[in-house]
Structure 1
Amino acid sequence: MKTWLITGCSSGLGQRLAEAVAARGDRLVATARSTDSLLPLSERYPETVRSISLDVTRAGDAAKAVALAKRAFGGLDVLVNNAGFGFIGAIEEAEPDEYRPMFEANVFGLIETTRAALPALRERPGARLVNLSSGAGIAGSAGFGFYNATKFAVEGLSEALAQELAPLGLKVIIVEPGPFRTEFLGRSMATAAREIDAYAETVRARRRYRETNDGRQAGDPDKAVAVMLQAIDAEHPPLHLPIGPRAHAIAERKLDAFRADIAAWRDISIATDFGAPT
């Protein structure tokens, strides 16, 4: 039986994961900015589920959630950094007061929650640290540049953490889902207020994608959660876990393009050491 702390349990994959964790009998500290949405879950599982308000951008909230896990269940085995939101808009279109809050939640909030939980996780050999990235964390695309930047940050941070924590027996998993039928394109996606005509061919299509695909995504979130649980339970979990055909296609295209660039410029770009022929 594991003890979990999951951020962003009010909706989306966080909510589905929290429900699955509770249903299988594990202990859970479920968190969201408002605990109202968490009451049904804690009432169904009063012995194994606790809920607490956690705004990842508010100092001290994460430490209180970790303290609750230790007080109620004696420790912490799995942290899932799921809280966050998306943003659509060209780099030139967006204003700081539109995109900076996303960095506070997706990057700095994740960092501070992780830092608060690591002392407890280090007490449990075999503990898991799970960071929700995205297909947008694998490759950038027009209209999602700021969101890409937050998820690229999560990827780099997670890869470094994996190396730091490996000697301690802790495993890091970066979950990279494609589009799944959650509220992500609705309540969890912000949009730049300004539109610049010069970006009509590239970015405007992304805005329309949100409007036409919200609630119609091909991915089944319960199946995504099942994959996540299998990876977290595995003795040797993957560092990178793309989920869904779209995420895998993004990863494969990125790898192919990366290899092509490296091969095309290899001879020129490696001849840079002192004494190397030019």
Structure 2
Amino acid sequence: MSKVWFITGAARGMGAEIAKAALAAGNQVVATGRRVDVVTKALGTSENLFVTELDITREGQVKNAMEAAINRFGRIDVLVNNAAYGHLGVFEETSLDEVRAQYDTNVFGTMAVTQAVIPFMRKQRSGRIINISSAAGLKGVFGGSIYNSSKFAVEGFSQSIAEELAPFGVYVTVVSPGFFRTDFLDLSSVKYSKAGISDYSEALAEFRDFHDNRNHTQVGDPAKLAYVVLQLVQVEKPPVSFVAGTDAVDWAKSVVNQKKEQLDEWHALSISTDGTW
């Protein structure tokens, strides 16, 4: 049975691949992006495709895009919150305006689109919400204080609304990919804080080289991830948290092991806070 998909950030990368896969499977797709012409160039045209402008940081556009989607196809069965970007760099060198901009897109934009679609899905008593996070949302690292923390927020947000919406037949899955071969590490997508503090310069240069050297050589295939997302949407009881990619799986395992080691090491002190009353 075909479904109606609403996808943010569909002009390129994972969003475009998910839209292509959903269309190829016979679904109807609402593909959104800041520029309609760029999305159309990436996806072409068809009766099952509706392209509409959407900057997820603008609440008025969110409402208009959602209403336009409902008017066109009558319902929304699958929401894919994909629109995002990465702001990398040392926290001390990052302005609060840069922090707000990162959260406006990755967190508040994702929340705005999700909040707009929930009433329709709750009324239908069915729906799937796929929030594209990142393995970066599982562990903080040097240079990732802003981006990683925004994805931590997406992880926590997704897990929480999953419990709120499941009684209504609406299931939430947060997908945490590792490094995938998209434009994410291009300067057209990723942003860096302006370097200026010498104490960080050497470590920051190594951090940036690490990412620059992986640009367009990442192991993950976004087209394969798109078909994984299609499978997750069809599963009767989908996972709330899904990790994608061998590097992301290894990363997630290391996080779990580190947590366990710290819990074991500090167990006595941790439980010493219980009252005796």
Place the TM-score, normalised by the shorter chain, in its bin: over 0.9
Distance 2:214 2:274 in 1: 50
Distance 1:195 1:170 in 2: 47
Structure 1 position 144 matched with structure 2 position 144: yes
The amino acid across from 2:105 in the alignment is A
Structure 1 position 165 matched with structure 2 position 168: no
The amino acid across from 2:96 in the alignment is P
- Describe the SS at the equivalent of 2:239: coil
Q: TM-score, normalised by structure 1?
A: 0.95
Does the Cα contact within 8 Å between 2:12 and 2:42 map onto a contact in 1?
A: no
CA deviation map 1:48-105 (0-9, x unaligned) = 1111100001121111121122111111101111101001101111112333211110
Does the Cα contact within 8 Å between 1:66 and 1:120 map onto a contact in 2?
A: no
Q: Which moved more, 1:86-95 or 1:208-217?
A: 208-217
Distance 2:234 2:200 in 1: 44
Q: Which residue of 2 aligns with 1:101?
A: 101
Distance 1:181 1:21 in 2: 20
Cα distance change, pair 41–145 in 1 and its aligned pair in 2 (3 A): closer
Q: Which residue of 2 aligns with 1:37?
A: 38
Q: Which residue of 2 aligns with 1:7?
A: 8
Count of matched residue positions in the alignment of Structure 1 and Structure 2: 275
Distance 1:40 1:194 in 2: 36
Structure 1 position 266 matched with structure 2 position 271: no
Q: Which residue of 2 aligns with 1:185?
A: 185
Does the Cα contact within 8 Å between 2:78 and 2:127 map onto a contact in 1?
A: yes
Does the Cα contact within 8 Å between 2:86 and 2:190 map onto a contact in 1?
A: yes
Taking only aligned residues, the RMSD between alpha carbons, in angstroms, comes to 1.5
Q: TM-score, normalised by structure 2?
A: 0.95
Q: Which residue of 2 aligns with 1:127?
A: 127
**Percent of residue pairs identical:** 38
Displacement after TM superposition at 1:250 (Å): 1.0
Unaligned stretches of 5+ in structure 2? Answer: none
Displacement after TM superposition at 1:274 (Å): 1.9
Does the Cα contact within 8 Å between 1:76 and 1:124 map onto a contact in 2?
A: no
CA deviation map 1:122-172 (0-9, x unaligned) = 123331011111000111111111101100010111111011011111110
Cα distance change, pair 3–264 in 1 and its aligned pair in 2 (3 A): same
Distance 1:255 1:211 in 2: 28
Displacement after TM superposition at 1:175 (Å): 0.6
The amino acid across from 1:265 in the alignment is W
